[in-house]
Amino acid sequence: MDIDVIIVGGGNAGFISALMLRASLKCKSIKVIESKKIGTVGVGESSTEHFAGFCDSVGIDILELILRAKATFKNGVYFSKWSDEDFLHNVDTTTVGHSAGYHFPYLHQTDVNRRPNIEMNRKGAWENQVPLSFFNDMGNSPTNQFHFDTLELNNYLREKCIERGIEVVDDELQGARIDHETGDIDILSGKIKEYKADFYIDCSGFARLLLGKTLGVKWKSYSEYLPLNSAISFPTEEMEEYNIYTKSTARDYGWSWQIPTQDRTGNGYVFCDRFIDEDQAHQEMEKAYGRKLDIAKTFKFDAGRMEKAWYKNCYGLGLSQSFVEPLEATSIGSVIQQMFAFIHYLPSNSVDECNQAVNDIFDNIFDYVQAHYLVKREDTPFWKEVKYDLKLTPSLESQLNVWKGRFPQGADLTFKWGLFNSINYILILYGLKWFDNEVMSREFQHIKHMHIIDWNETSRKVPHMSHKQLIKQLVMTYNLNKEN
């Protein structure tokens, strides 16, 4: 596709899209316009497994990424206080698609007597340990998910763009001009100069500078289906031992996150402002942490998406196109999957197909995030309202009605470039004690003769070491090699 492309926004979404375009399509030129006046708060961010696919597609070395982005490993999301028993969203890949997508190793757990949540994962998945087999091939990661220092990741991706001939310009955009004959974006007006391209990608974040403000694409709110709309974030010191998971703790009026990076920890609290304000959220976190906390960033959000991601000669990506909430770290993953969709449809100019695929990606994410709120707790006014009054999306409600009568199967959820499928739901719904165990036990009687993978027995045979010890050893080796 021999065209000029300008990407507006130098955040992670902008640099990821630039690298994917460079690796996948023949473009005359790719330019990223960023404004250094718009700072990045590097308090920690995490990925889904789709980030490893991105690295593979653009030729980024995982080990180099870990070292440069001050990353740590992530094997899933640990949920504390969401139910009367903690649970972990960590998919065992040996069961994905097993027996035509019938996840009977997981069904085996949901008998009448109900096994503890810890038995839904491999031995060691809850522990901050990394398999020593990593050293057999240091270019590979023991997991395909990571925690990053947001600022350091951004700097690393910018550097990769420049190395690969992508021009990165520092300018503050003032607006854009429309071609009145075609309705396309014609010229971008910067504080320093003007810019022109054949196609524009809007990664301007919540500003939605091109897709929203310039082209007038409408925002489709999903706020009626989601109880949260505000967040605060704050850094704390480096963990004594790095969690190998993102920790999500249910709080009085929402939930908090904790993300370990190599020199500090990223934290935040997502809450509903109908019950508390930012000051009260701050106070609740200081009480929970038992110390004074300095808030780095506050923001409010309206969960939803643009009605069209691709309109005229512009494609919206990241926060400029959609936002749910930080639960399950879908931001980077959705950027990657939506960019794969765009690259797939751009040569044929299949705008409608691409927009439908992007909407499906968002709905897949939204339904899955909403399923986390199928809670039994009602100990505060917020959680009581969530338990009894949460309005489910029609698509999630329809799927849950099916799963009331049988166990989720692989074929139940199929989306092009979707982030989540039935096996992801199994771990969340089991942790929330949503399944009717008697129904599941009757179903299991028909397949109990099948061979069950003993993933605990398999994982016991692999020696492990401390997560933090491994990261520090990698950093030390890397620094020694640089000196020599």
pTM above 0.85, yes or no: yes
Residue type at position 220: K
At 350 the pLDDT is 98
292: phi then psi, degrees, rounded to nearest 5: -75, 135
d(C-alpha 49, C-alpha 89), whole Å: 12
> Which phi-psi region, left, alpha or beta, contains residue 97 (left: φ > 0; alpha: ψ -120 to 50)?
left
> Going from the N-terminus, what domains does the chain have, and what CATH number goes with each?
4-224+302-444 (3.50.50.60)
Q: Quick one: 71 exposed, middle or buried, by C-beta within 10 A (0-12, 13-18, 19+)?
A: buried
Indicate the angle between helix axes 422-431 and 351-371, nearest 10 degrees.
Answer: 20
Dihedral of the alpha carbons of 361, 363, 365, 370, in degrees to the nearest 10: 180
**Smallest Cα–Cα separation from 266: which of 40, 41, 43, 46?**
43
pLDDT tens for each residue of 43-89: 568 999 899 899 999 999 888 898 999 999 998 999 999 999 999 99
DSSP code string of 45-97: EE--THHHHHHHHHT--HHHHHHHTT-EEE--EEEESSSSS-EEE---GGGTT
Instruction: Using DSSP bridges, classify how beta strands 29-34 and 4-8 pair: parallel, antiparallel or unpaired.
Output: parallel
Q: Are 74 and 143 in contact (CB under 8 A)?
A: yes
**pLDDT 10s digit of each residue in the chain, 484 long?**
679 999 999 999 999 999 999 999 888 899 999 998 776 655 568 999 899 899 999 999 888 898 999 999 998 999 999 999 999 998 865 554 455 566 766 776 655 567 788 877 776 778 888 776 655 554 455 678 999 999 999 999 999 999 999 999 999 999 999 999 999 999 999 999 999 999 999 999 999 999 999 999 999 999 999 999 999 999 999 999 999 999 999 999 999 999 999 999 999 999 999 999 999 999 999 999 999 999 999 999 999 999 999 999 999 999 999 999 999 999 999 999 999 999 999 999 999 999 999 999 999 999 999 999 999 999 999 999 999 999 999 999 999 999 999 989 888 998 889 999 998 999 999 999 999 888 888 887 776 666 555 555 555 556 678 899 889 988 888 777 777 6
**Which residue is associated with the tokens 């082209």?**
215
The contacts of residue 457 (CB under 8 Å, 6+ apart) are none
